[in-house]
Structure 1
Amino acid sequence: MGIFSSSALFNIQEFYEVTLLNSQKSCEQKIEEANQVAKKWEKTSLLASCHDNLQKSAEVHY
């Protein structure tokens, strides 16, 4: 699998279409929503990284 899963790519595409291409949203709204999505993705990425590290650590001990 590449850098992004198909689910992540779908989420990015959906965010782009629903938020960034929406001419009825102000720039401020788009920035706020982009920041919220970035925080969510960061948190998800950090949790996945911690999970991977725990798995690797467990494999070393067995």
Structure 2
Amino acid sequence: PLPIPRPRREYVPPPPPLPRRSDHPRRPASHRKPRRRRIGHLITGYALAALAGAMAQPLVTLLS
């Protein structure tokens, strides 16, 4: 079976962009809710690093 020929569409240029109001404050491009900073993960990381340092310090002084 032969494909059915379709009529070609005429090229229509897109309409010009609408003018912007200069007195209107510009919104950010993204409308998503901003991500919350994960303070709990940061505090946990610092606590684990301090704990590891406190546990390693006696071992280092014993070996040196």
**What TM-score results when the alignment is normalised by the length of structure 2?**
0.39
Structure possessing the higher radius of gyration over alpha carbons: 2
The structure whose RCO (Cα within 8 Å, separation 6+) is larger is: 1
More helix by share: 1
